[in-house]
Amino acid sequence: MKITLYLFFIASIVSCGKAICPEPKKNTDTTAIITTNISNRYTTILQPGIEGKDVVINTNGPTLNYPSRTFLHARAWTNNGVILLEKGIIQFDYSSIPAGAVINKATLTLFADTTIDIGAVGHSQFSGSNDWVLKRVTQAWDEYTVTWNTEPATDLNNVIQCAASNLFSQAYEIEVTSWVADEIAHPTSYYGFLMQINNETPYRAITFCSSDHTYPPLRPKMVIEYTK
């Protein structure tokens, strides 16, 4: 019964069609790790809270760090007439996946943040398509020190192209099976994902909830299916 209610709650929030969803109550729940086993096929859901590792870097404050924002986005905008570029970086903790596990499928889900207005509510295509790219991070980074000027290196030869949003409130489900398997097998070679708008002409944006968001069900989620 609890699982059914929980899933219904998620669906209700995701489908919110108002310009701005109702302001949530403050919730600082920590890591949600759920593992199920059916016929020796395991599924682990990772959906961390405020201790999750994600950050936004931008050109407006190239030496500043923004580790506690409730949103995670990539966008091209302006600030007092000056072009502002932003990228989001995220990494999950896979320590709950047992050594030797065979990763059969890994799905990253990112939920639109429609609870704030930072020039636009949710995703934006004011000047054209907001299609974007997800890149593998190949250099270690610290959530509390990384800045635009210290952006970690990424793999430019193996990227995932993501289509423009259909709705300002669209959630994205992205298969990242091989990337997650690689990061688990080679934890000193891969360090999560970086998101970037393809055409950085203002005013285009994708805006998701971060792990610091006050609605726990809308925080970034990774579902990993594996055998061992």
Read off the pTM: 0.86
Can you give the pLDDT at residue 31? 60
Question: Tens of pLDDT along 107-134?
Answer: 999 999 999 888 889 999 999 999 999 9
> Over 60: is that where the pLDDT of 102 sits?
yes
Q: Whose structure tokens read 């990772």?
A: 46
| Residue 121 CA: distances (Å) to CA of 48, 144, 162, 169 | 24, 26, 20, 8
Q: Are strands 132-137 and 221-227 parallel, antiparallel or unpaired?
A: unpaired
Residues shown for the chain = 228
Q: Taking the domains of the chain in order of start, what are their residue ranges?
A: 2-21+28-227
Question: Tens of pLDDT along 171-181?
Answer: 999 999 999 99
Question: Tens of pLDDT along 46-73?
Answer: 999 999 999 999 999 999 999 999 999 9
Question: Tens of pLDDT along 178-214?
Answer: 999 999 999 999 999 999 999 999 999 999 999 999 9
